[in-house]
C-alpha cells in the first residue's frame, strides 16, 4: 500500500468537511475523497470521517436525520468490520444517533453556544486515534457547539469507564478534571468516547481546526497522523 485513502462524508449542512479534508491532505501519501451522503460507495476509504456542521439543519435533533442517509449504511457496515471511523462534533452526534456509540448529547448546561479553545486530557492513548499522544497528555483544541452536553445513564457510564472507552475529558490547563473546566456540563467531563472495539471514536472538539500552527494549535494533527500510521501498519 503506498497511499492511505481518507473519506470525508458530506451531508447537506456539513461545514467542517473541507477543513477536515485539508487537515487530512496535509500529510504525504494521503488521498482524500469527499463522500456525498446520497452515495453508497466509500470509494476505497481506509478511514471514514464524519465532519462537523449542522447536518440537515439539526432539524428534529442534531444528527437524527443524517443517520438515515444512504452513505450511513455503508459507514455502519465499515465500522462493524473494525475499520476506523471518526466523528467530530456533529459527526459525533451522528455516531450516537445511529448507535455506533452509546449515549446522547443535549444542550450545553448554561444555554450558550460555546466557541473557544478548550483543554482536553487524553484518557486512553492505546487507540488507533490517540496512539501518538502521551498518557494523560493535555491538548488544546477548539470547540464550537450548542449541544455538547454528553449524557448517558449511570450504567452506561460505568460500562464505558470499565472498558476504557472514555478517550478524552475536559480539563484545566494543568490536566485537572474540574467542574469549572467542564463548560458544557457533560457527565464525568466526557469530551470523547470510543466503542468497545476502539475503532469508532466521537468527540466534540475539533482536531481538524488545530492541525496547523497558524491556527494556534497543532495538537489535532497527531490524531490524523496516528490514523495514517495505523493504516500503514
Partner 1 sequence: MAYKAKIRVTLRPSILDVQGKAVEHALDNLGYSTVESARIGKYIEVIIDEESVADAERVALEICQKLLANPVMEDYSIELEST
Instruction: List residues with catalytic annotation.
Output: 89, 206, 208
- Spatial distance between the Cα atoms of 181 and 173, rounded to a whole number of angstroms: 9
Per CB under 8 A, which of residues 32..61 are in contact with partner 1? 60-61
- Spatial distance between the Cα atoms of 189 and 83, rounded to a whole number of angstroms: 27
* Three-state SS annotation for 98-126: CCCCCCEEECCCCCCCEEEEEEEEECCCC
DSSP H or E run through 150? strand 149-151
Pick the stretch among 45-53, 98-106, 197-205, 212-220 that binds partner 1 (CB under 8 A).
Answer: 98-106
Pick the stretch among 4-12, 29-37, 99-107, 198-206 that binds partner 1 (CB under 8 A).
Answer: 99-107
> Minimal distance in Å, beta carbon 181 to partner 1?
19
> Minimal distance in Å, beta carbon 59 to partner 1?
11
Number of chain positions touching partner 1 (CB under 8 A): 20
Question: Which residues, in sequence order, are CB contacts of 83 under 8 Å at separation 6+?
Answer: 46, 47, 48, 199
User: Residue 106, interface with partner 1 (CB under 8 A)?
Assistant: yes
> Minimal distance in Å, beta carbon 62 to partner 1?
10
User: Residue 110, interface with partner 1 (CB under 8 A)?
Assistant: yes
- Spatial distance between the Cα atoms of 88 and 96, rounded to a whole number of angstroms: 11
User: Residue 68, interface with partner 1 (CB under 8 A)?
Assistant: yes
User: Residue 114, interface with partner 1 (CB under 8 A)?
Assistant: no
**Which of 90, 108, 124, 182 is close enough to bind partner 1 by CB under 8 A?**
108
| Of 59, 55, 57, 58, residue with least CA distance to 72 | 55
User: Residue 188, interface with partner 1 (CB under 8 A)?
Assistant: no
67 forms beta bridges with none
Contact residues for partner 1 (CB under 8 A)?
A: 60-61, 64-65, 68, 96-97, 103-104, 106-111, 149, 151-153, 185
Amino acid at each position: 500500500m503506498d497511499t492511505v485513502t481518507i473519506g470525508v462524508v458530506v451531508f447537506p449542512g456539513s461545514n467542517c468537511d473541507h477543513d477536515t479534508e485539508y487537515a487530512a491532505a496535509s500529510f504525504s501519501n494521503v488521498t482524500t475523497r469527499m463522500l456525498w451522503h446520497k452515495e453508497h460507495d466509500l470509494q476505497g476509504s481506509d478511514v471514514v470521517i464524519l465532519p462537523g456542521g449542522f447536518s440537515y439543519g439539526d432539524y428534529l435533533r442534531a444528527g437524527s436525520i443524517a443517520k438515515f442517509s444512504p452513505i450511513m449504511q455503508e459507514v455502519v457496515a465499515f465500522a462493524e468490520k473494525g475499520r476506523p471511523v471518526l466523528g467530530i462534533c456533529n459527526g459525533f452526534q451522528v455516531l450516537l444517533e445511529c448507535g455506533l456509540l452509546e449515549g446522547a448529547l443535549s444542550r450545553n448546561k448554561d444555554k450558550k453556544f460555546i466557541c473557544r479553545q478548550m483543554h482536553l486530557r487524553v484518557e486512553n492513548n492505546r487507540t488507533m486515534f490517540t496512539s501518538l499522544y502521551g498518557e494523560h497528555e493535555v491538548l488544546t483544541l477548539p470547540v464550537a457547539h450548542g449541544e455538547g452536553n454528553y449524557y448517558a445513564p449511570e450504567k452506561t457510564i460505568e460500562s464505558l469507564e470499565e472498558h476504557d472507552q472514555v478517550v478524552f475529558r475536559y480539563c484545566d490547563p494543568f490536566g485537572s478534571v474540574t467542574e469549572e473546566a467542564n463548560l458544557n456540563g457533560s457527565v464525568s467531563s466526557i469530551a470523547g468516547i470510543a466503542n468497545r472495539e476502539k475503532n469508532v471514536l466521537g468527540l466534540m472538539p475539533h482536531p481538524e481546526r488545530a492541525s496547523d500552527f497558524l491556527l494556534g494549535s497543532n495538537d489535532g494533527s497527531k490524531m490524523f497522523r496516528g490514523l495514517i500510521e495505523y493504516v500503514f501498519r
